[in-house]
Chain A
């Protein structure tokens, strides 16, 4: 493995790991605050129990998120020193703002986790709300930084160096809005369904468990709306990619030739040597219609750029198909849940629905990994689209395979431990039945 590939792999592993925890840090506070608010509204102690149990899991995940994020902020320099030298003054601003969001998040998470007995219930909910808001703000700022890498702005190039740096303009690039919107929705959809899926699994074993019924309801409140809106937000994202990063769109769709009335391909494997995508289901004019809202629009194919500027087409295409397929599943499942609720059916009693929700548990997270693969691998060979190549950004230190393997091993180990701890936490959940009455909830405070 060459040094560049090792560096890219290390970045991919580190980001792919961090994002899982970051997403939980964005959405779990919302779930906890909803549960706690319900406890106040209804006096049902089981909601308090729920908030406390979720808080335990979140504390573990948040800590791993914080330390893996720290690794990232160093890795930006450790792996890509020339990139940071170039980009630091331009996109340092969102990172600095993010720093303050981290402060707020870490401070009020401490207050939330350790303050149950120390502050008033109202102040406690307020602390949870601050954590939720600052979690979303961290995502906002860091994704703005990423958007700049896709649609760089706010500087002028002069013999290879940036001049006339304008950090504000660099934050307001065309990619910023679609990416941030899509990312935030993804966080709520993924976490909501992941949590709902776990409790659905428990309900499949024990349908009348009151604890898991409440948990399911709260998780779905967060997950379902986001999942239903997500395809529309994805459409906005796709249209910005079509306009600003045509090679990425071409790779996503396996579109090798520039063409008017391009078809939408579902599935299929791009064959880079033959320059065509095999075994795809093609819907005539579909791509032109979706990407430009005009069935006859010209879609630029990969042939519009030199071969050395092609991203790895098969990876991007497959990742995109995975995201859209699973995203469609989540959106349809969301609609089904809305329908059942509207008909006032008991969700937990519907075994097929519970199976479908349980199946959805990992899907949002898979979508997130796939979606980021589309964004990041689709930007290759550029680290800053059209401005700096990834190969020009990598550190001169040889032997990068060693840190790559070390970080990967460390994260594998942590991943296993976290899964095991969460499993343990879920398995120790209370077994109060609905008919026993909520009043006998264990450890009622």
Chain B
């Protein structure tokens, strides 16, 4: 049963990456909006994420709640060891969300608009980086080692070696860069589907292709550094029986996404990109299994009492019954191909 719940956690994380990740990526492209159509680019991004970002954001909360309900030692351990990067990430989340709302609903004067846009986009850039750093720190296994030290009460260790160095290394930064690249790639690819005109679509096609390259480079770098910094995950990704099929599938999806972008098959590109990103995530999880926080907390030994797990799964099933129809409704309403009728004036017109 604990395995089922761990899989659910991964599904929720996957949803967060594919949905909210693209919202963050949108913020990144807001920062890098350039050329004659920069205002249109920003308007398209704002229109794309406006109605959905809060719902997408809830996936993260679901992951957190799931973790502390079903794997409490893992939650409290991560919260201790990753206190600093998580706090920084939260500040990013707060600034991203509120700046976006302030820009969308606040005064329509130019200067505050631009100021909030800047806060929104910079926070959108930093938050994924920190998320990636946290994931990299877990994968590296150094968090787990440090936790064992804290529990044993290691007074001789310095603050930095307990709370700073375990998550700050070239490897974790590479994973941070990978997550950022992935989010930017997803956003640009989705935006090619949602763009209202051909010129705008070409803007995002170029961005998507560029981001695909960045994903490739950062993924390669992370994998390279993993050999010395995250040996367990690295070994899993290289030596397991499933390693080869996984890499082949990921490569097919990646090349498929690039080809689809190249030949302007926007919908195909969107699916291929989402598949590629999901495979990267599941590859990490499979390589790290059965550990939640290597080297000591596993899915089994960190699990909550069976009764809690059971009730949690029932709750989840009931919740899903409400959630999925509502989610579908939301996306049908705002993401279907009605875009060509409405003019994206960006803000204020819809409320």
Contacts and interface: CB of A to CB of B under 8 A. Distances in A.
B163 interface: yes
Interface stretch (A94-102, A282-290, A343-351): A94-102
Contacts of A74: 64, 79, 86, 90
A59 B83 contact: no
Contact of B334 (A88, A92, A110): A110
B66 A114 contact: no
Interface in A117-133: 117-119
Given A64-B97, A88-B69, 16 more contacts: A52-B351, A67-B97, A70-B57, A70-B90, A73-B64, A73-B65, A77-B79, A92-B68, A93-B315, A99-B65, A103-B62, A111-B329, A119-B333, A167-B311, A403-B87, A406-B91
Interface in B145-183: 150, 159, 163
B51 A100 contact: no
Interface stretch (B31-39, B98-106, B195-203, B276-284): B98-106
A165 B312 CA distance: 13
A113 B350 contact: yes
A82 interface: yes
Contacts of B159: 398-399
Contacts of A66: 54, 57, 97
Contact of A96 (B60, B69, B305): B69
A113 B68 CA distance: 32
22 contacts: A59-B351, A63-B100, A67-B98, A71-B94, A74-B79, A77-B75, A84-B75, A85-B72, A89-B69, A89-B72, A90-B308, A102-B58, A102-B61, A106-B57, A107-B327, A111-B330, A114-B50, A116-B351, A119-B333, A414-B98, A421-B102, A421-B107
A57 B351 CA distance: 10
Given A56-B351, A59-B101, A106-B58, A92 B80 contact: no
B93 A67 contact: yes
Contacts of B251: none
A102 B104 CA distance: 21
A278 to B, nearest CB: 43
Contacts of B326: 103-104, 107-108
Nearest to B69: A92
Interface in A15-52: 52
Contacts of B329: 107, 111
A167 B60 CA distance: 23
B194 to A, nearest CB: 14
A399 B312 CA distance: 36
A261 interface: no
A48 to B, nearest CB: 12
A229 interface: no
B78 A424 contact: no
Contacts of A59: 101, 104-105, 351
B319 interface: yes
Contacts of A103: 55, 58, 62, 319, 322-323, 326-327
Contacts of B78: 77
Interface of B: 50-52, 54-55, 57-58, 60-62, 64-66, 68-70, 72-73, 75-80, 83, 86-87, 90-91, 93-98, 100-102, 104-107, 150, 159, 163, 304-305, 307-308, 311-312, 315-316, 319, 322-323, 326-327, 329-330, 333-334, 350-351
Interface string A134-160: 000000000000000000000000000
Contacts of A76: 68
A286 to B, nearest CB: 43
Contacts of A322: none
A438 interface: no
A395 B58 CA distance: 26
A60 B79 contact: no
A5 to B, nearest CB: 17
Interface of A: 52, 55-57, 59-60, 62-64, 66-71, 73-74, 76-78, 81-82, 84-86, 88-90, 92-93, 95-100, 102-104, 106-111, 113-119, 163, 165-168, 395-399, 403, 406-407, 410, 414, 417, 421, 424
A111 B333 CA distance: 8
A92 B304 contact: yes
B51 to A, nearest CB: 4
Nearest to B325: A107
Contacts of A113: 51, 350-351
Contact of A165 (B58, B96, B308): B308
B79 A107 contact: no
B85 to A, nearest CB: 11
B68 A84 contact: yes
Contacts of A117: 350
Given A77-B78, A421-B107, A67 B83 contact: no
Contact of B70 (A73, A92, A417): A92
Contacts of A69: 61
Nearest to B104: A59
Nearest to A68: B94
A77 B76 contact: yes
Nearest to B96: A67
Contacts of B323: 100, 103-104
A315 to B, nearest CB: 27
Contacts of B304: 88-89, 92, 165
A67 B94 contact: yes
Which 8 interchain pairs have the tightest Cβ spacing?
A92-B69, A77-B79, A63-B101, A81-B76, A89-B304, A88-B72, A100-B319, A110-B51
A17 to B, nearest CB: 10
Contacts of A397: 80, 83, 163
A107 B308 contact: no
A396 B50 contact: no
Given A70-B57, A103-B55, A118 B76 contact: no
Contacts of B75: 77, 81, 84-85, 88
Contacts of A70: 57, 60-61, 90, 93-94
A89 B351 contact: no
A203 to B, nearest CB: 24
A414 B94 contact: yes
A97 B87 contact: no
Contacts of A102: 58, 61
A424 B107 CA distance: 7
A395 B83 contact: yes
B307 A165 contact: yes
Nearest to A82: B76
A96 B97 contact: no
Query: Quick one: which of A85, A103, A113 has the most chain B CB within 10 A?
Result: A103
Nearest to B80: A81
Given A66-B54, A92-B69, A110-B334, A85 B76 contact: yes
Nearest to B68: A88
B307 A167 contact: yes
